[in-house]
Amino acid sequence: MNPKTMNYYSLNHRSPNVDFREAAIRGQAPDKGLYFPGQVNTLPGEFIEGLKQLSPEEIAYKVLAPYVDGSIPEAELRRIVKETIAFDIPLVKVTENIWSLELFHGPTLAFKDVGARFMSRCLGYFARERKEKLVVLVATSGDTGGAVANGFYDVPGVDVVILYPSGKVSPVQEKQVTALGKNIHALEVKGNFDDCQRMVKHAFVDDELTSKLFLTSANSINVARWLPQQVYYFLALRQWNEEKPPVICVPSGNFGNICAGMLAGRSGLPVEHFIAAVNRNDVIARYLASGDYQPVQAVATLSNAMDVGEPSNFIRIEEIFGKEWTSLTDHLSAASITDEETIATIRRVYQKYQYLLDPHGAVGFLALERYLKEHPGQKGIFLETAHPVKFPESVEKIIGGSIPVPDHVKPLLTREKVSTLIEPEYGALKDFLLK
């Protein structure tokens, strides 16, 4: 492969093109646009036909190498992709025509582990290459903090500082950011999530601070978090033994996950159709139905990781299809599911098929089931994006029983919480970072 033929451009088109390394370190382009790869990789037919003969690590490497494009040497990248997918991603049959791709077997029990692990290891490599310690600064309202903390845990050359609102995250979420120790530092802010976010944003525009520290954010739009999500769509097809390609249904909030799947589809992965399953936050479902894009304030639902009023990654899906409306709507449809339907689905699928869904997976299951009823002869996969034990308040009430905690997360819950309590003021954050 020729080094550096893959450039990333900003979707706002007012920033210079950069390579993978620069795009991953910056997160967002200076003009505030999302980075997008200059070419969509095309995978050879024999690669797709031979998926079953390849190891998951080999598949992950082949899918990601063109996008990393020499920014990381081959041996190092192979090590990184291997660690990224070092847990099971099984495809489990639930009904006659519906399969679940279980993405919750990672350390924080949600699919975000995949992107967080890849990004953290790439950034760790870039920090070592610069011989400078990298400081990752994140504000979290809950889930992101855990996945990021875990992804960076014990990665050499990286320090992580996580701000979270005191008393406003669940006990498990708090343990996920405060009980790891080593290079993970938790700042417990006497305020709300907006205070945390404001303090982090302030740090990035403080020239004095950024001249002293090699600072980055672990933003969810980072290409190093977005692109590796393609891999498990290939791993799903590696386990698919049906005659025709599947319909794939993705519970969606910010649309990063489904966008990665559609990029995989564009690269040659055989997928019949994509469905974005959303909750009451249905701005994209309404857009696809009417052509009219109207972002709104998010409303709270049971599938709270999908409570997004203005999905930031949707613009990347439009870019994949060159903004051609017919091509886009041929490949993608969307369905909105209410909380009542989510509850009824968790109960029904548990009773009828002995399969326990989490609220996000339930939204995906029902959207897929409805689509398949209207398209007889097709079969499909929904992405089960989180383990039901992460949502005990709703799921345990619905099924009337308790959910066992998976063994590999038990040790964390008994570890001690260590955090630094600070005032909701930028000065307090700056003092901590400079000492």
Ligand X SMILES: *Cc1c(COP(=O)(O)O)cnc(C)c1O
Task: Report the interface residues with ligand X, using CB under 6 A.
Answer: 110, 112, 143, 251-257, 305-306, 360, 385-386
Q: How far is the CB of 304 from ligand X (least distance, A)?
A: 9
Q: Report in angstroms the alpha-carbon separations of 55 from 59, 106, 179, 196, 238.
A: 6, 19, 34, 42, 9
Bridge partners of residue 184, in order along the sequence: 160
Dist. CA 343–CA 153, nearest whole Å: 35
Nearer to ligand X, 307 or 425 (CB): 307
- The residues annotated as belonging to the active site are 112
Q: How far is the CB of 394 from ligand X (least distance, A)?
A: 13
Q: How far is the CB of 262 from ligand X (least distance, A)?
A: 12
Bridge partners of residue 138, in order along the sequence: 162
Q: How far is the CB of 164 from ligand X (least distance, A)?
A: 16
Quote the distance between the C-alpha of residue 157 and its chain's center: 23
Nearer to ligand X, 70 or 145 (CB): 145
Nearer to ligand X, 249 or 306 (CB): 306
Dist. CA 104–CA 90, nearest whole Å: 10
**Any idea which residue has 């409805």 for tokens?**
370
Bridge partners of residue 249, in order along the sequence: 275, 382
Q: Tokens in use for 71? A: 């920014």
Quick count: other Cβ atoms within 10 Å of Cβ 291? Answer: 9
Nearer to ligand X, 159 or 282 (CB): 282
List all residues 6 or more positions away from 225 whose beta carbon is below 8 Å from its beta carbon: 115, 116, 118, 119, 218, 219, 256
Nearer to ligand X, 15 or 108 (CB): 108
Query: Taking a C-beta distance cutoff of 8 angstroms, is the pair 342, 366 a contact?
Result: yes
Nearer to ligand X, 80 or 386 (CB): 386
Dist. CA 371–CA 64, nearest whole Å: 31
Rounded to 10 deg, the angle between the 359-374 and 339-353 helix axes is 80
Q: How far is the CB of 380 from ligand X (least distance, A)?
A: 17
Q: How far is the CB of 193 from ligand X (least distance, A)?
A: 15
Query: Taking a C-beta distance cutoff of 8 angstroms, is the pair 150, 385 a contact?
Result: no
H helix and E strand count, the chain: 20, 13
